[in-house]
Structure 1
Amino acid sequence: MKEIKVTKNDSGQRIDRFLSKSFPLGQGQICKLARKNCIKLNGKKCKPDTHIAENDIIKLFIPDEMLIPKAKSDPDDFTAVSDKIDIVYEDENILLVDKPVGMVVHEDESGDSDTLINRIKSYLYHKGEYRPENELSFAPALCNRIDRNTCGIVIAAKNAESLRILNQKIRDRELTKLYLCIACGKVTPDSATLTAYLEKNSDTNTVKISDKKTKSNLTIKTKYKVIAYNGENSLLKVDLLTGRTHQIRAHLAYIGHALLGDGKYGNNKLNKKYGFKYQALCSYELQFKFTTDAGCLSYLDGKCFKAKAPDFVKMFGSNIKL
């Protein structure tokens, strides 16, 4: 028999999900064990979808070989990585980090361990705020992602409660993420909400935009406002009303105004002319606009945070009001 006392970071989730994260147990196994009364919560039989709370006691009447904990991340996997990050905002619950161009948020097929999440873990580890050996199922996590060659704000949660709240807020659009970008040519009208349909090709890691709905594509809505025009290109502020893969890049290219520097959807001739090797795109501004209870993050309601202005804004002079 194994006894587990639920910690704060493990609380609030379903017991089956907690067990599947902590031990090499599949969903089917957990359901079967629950039916056989091999899993007890505070001394009572429980269902797999029962939510656990801090200080709850879980007792598992399961053979030891089934309870060998899942391998945890070796601290050296991230402590060997630099802990230098550009912090936009930090408190006891969250981190807002300004990601540079060229860095991936999570490890990809290249196998490079110098990722944004590893730098955040390293930073918190060296601060003494994160000790993986003390956690069964939680590790600091990112709440949003941006492409390797997009810069700007990425949200990280320091604890499980904040992660659950932020994921809900993002899903229900109680957070607004605004982007700055350079679109080739003169974008007209000065502001609009564009609607189209996007289909992803996983094999090529590209998307296709269409003006017709099919069974295989998804609706996208992209709201933009022209901030400046320098006679050749337009500086836009963009609000993603839907958040799909490569949405800004592909949607603006579809209407004839690809992002400057975009190698996938853009104009290579123009990219070379202006010397842009990466898409001129920045996740610049984050607004918290809660309409439902935010629990431990309620103090963030109404707050707005901005990354440093990206270098590409300089193309439009020094008096641009962002």
Structure 2
Amino acid sequence: MKAIAIGANEHGQRVDRLVGKLIPRAEKGLVYKAIRKKIVTLNGKKTQPDARVCEGDELKLFFSDDTLRELGGTVGSAGDKSTSGQTAETVSKKSASIKGYEFADNIIYEDTDVILVYKPAGILSQGSDSNEVSLNDLLIDHLSLSGKLSGTGETFKPSVCNRLDRNTAGIVVCGC
């Protein structure tokens, strides 16, 4: 069984979509069947796939540990509760840095939900197949180092909202 404490990042999501994020290799039919058969409960009660979760709710997945591993979900015991956010080591396995560019110095605006940052030419907005550092990697490292990204959440990953080509400079909006 896995119990998930709903945090601010999951607030407002549909139950079926949230369960799909928690067990990514599960087909939609299995997700809907699990909800229908009360294998997935919200606050200890049967729920509907289109129900919206609120901050402070508790979602429980009554799958065996083996089934959770097979479906791509992480295994937790009844006492382990996930929270919003992600740890630095699970999000970014490489140290993201670009010579001559400091992410924090190029932030134009920042609040709890949005960061506007200047992207100079020559930097990728999002990662590619190569191991080049992207603006997205720098964003995650910045949030991890500043303590705004912590916990073991699996449903939300900060990212850039708009992309600019590698050789284009400009302002990029990032959701956090």
Any idea what SS the aligned residue of 1:139 has? coil
Partner of 1:36: 37
Give the Å deviation of 1:146. 1.5
Matched, 1:82 2:97: yes
Q: Spell out, residue by residue over 1:266-300, the C-alpha distance to the aligned partner (whole angstroms, 9 max, x if none).
A: xxxxxxxxxxxxxxxxxxxxxxxxxxxxxxxxxxx
Identity within the alignment, %: 35
Give the Å deviation of 1:147. 1.3
1:127-166 matched pairs, under 5 angstroms: 127-131=146-150, 133-158=151-176
Give the Å deviation of 1:75. 4.5
Give the Å deviation of 1:156. 0.7
Partner of 2:122: 102
Q: 1:75 & 1:45 partners in 2: Cα distance? A: 33
Tell me the amino acid that sits aligned with residue 99 of structure 1: K
Q: Structure 2 unaligned runs (5+)?
A: 75-85
Q: 2:112 & 2:155 partners in 1: Cα distance? A: 19
1:233-248 matched pairs, under 5 angstroms: none
Tell me the amino acid that sits aligned with residue 22 of structure 2: S
Q: 2:92 & 2:128 partners in 1: Cα distance? A: 19
Any idea what SS the aligned residue of 1:77 has? coil
Matched positions, count: 155
Q: 1:107 & 1:16 partners in 2: Cα distance? A: 28
Given that 2:115 and 2:175 are in contact with CA atoms closer than 8 Å, whether structure 1 keeps it comes out as yes
Q: Structure 1 unaligned runs (5+)?
A: 159-322
Relative contact order, CA 8 A, sep 6+: which one is greater? 2
> Which one has a bigger Cα radius of gyration?
1
Any idea what SS the aligned residue of 1:31 has? helix
Matched, 1:5 2:5: yes
Given that 2:92 and 2:137 are in contact with CA atoms closer than 8 Å, whether structure 1 keeps it comes out as no
Q: 1:93 & 1:34 partners in 2: Cα distance? A: 31
Tell me the amino acid that sits aligned with residue 120 of structure 1: L
Give the Å deviation of 1:76. 4.5
Given that 2:114 and 2:173 are in contact with CA atoms closer than 8 Å, whether structure 1 keeps it comes out as yes
Q: Spell out, residue by residue over 1:89-125, the C-alpha distance to the aligned partner (whole angstroms, 9 max, x if none).
A: 112321101111111111123x134100100111111
1:102-251 matched pairs, under 5 angstroms: 102-109=122-129, 111-131=130-150, 133-158=151-176
TM normalised by structure 1 equals 0.45
